[in-house]
Amino acid sequence: MRDDGLVDIEARLTDVKSRDYPLASGLRKAGEPIHDLRVCVTIDDAFTIVAINASADAVPYPGACEAIAPAYGQLLGLNLLRGFRAEVKALFAGVAGCSHLTELLGAVPTAAIQTVASFRSAADEGDTKPFQLDRCHALETRGETVRRFYPRWYRR
What is residue 21's predicted lDDT score, i.e. its pLDDT? 95
pLDDT digits (tens, 9 = 90+) for 32-66: 999 999 999 999 999 999 999 999 999 999 999 99
Pairwise CA distance, residues 117 & 20, whole Å: 42
Task: Give me the residue spans of the domains in the chain.
Answer: 7-119, 122-156
Non-local (6+) Cβ contacts of 35 within 8 A are 13, 14, 15, 56, 58, 59, 60, 100
The predicted model gives 110-115 an average pLDDT of 89
Report pTM: 0.79
The predicted model gives 12-19 an average pLDDT of 96
What is residue 41's predicted lDDT score, i.e. its pLDDT? 97
What residue spans of 39-130 are helical by DSSP H?
84-92, 99-105, 108-117
Pairwise CA distance, residues 93 & 88, whole Å: 8
Q: Is 27 exposed, middle or buried (0-12, 13-18, 19+ CB in 10 A)?
A: exposed
Q: Is the pLDDT of residue 122 over 50?
A: no
Q: Is the pLDDT of residue 121 over 70?
A: no
CATH 1.10.3470 fits 7-119, yes or no: no
Question: Which pLDDT band holds residue 116 (cuts at 50, 70, 90)?
Answer: confident
Q: Is the pLDDT of residue 20 over 90?
A: yes
Q: Is the pLDDT of residue 123 over 80?
A: no
Other CB atoms within 10 A of residue 83 CB: 11
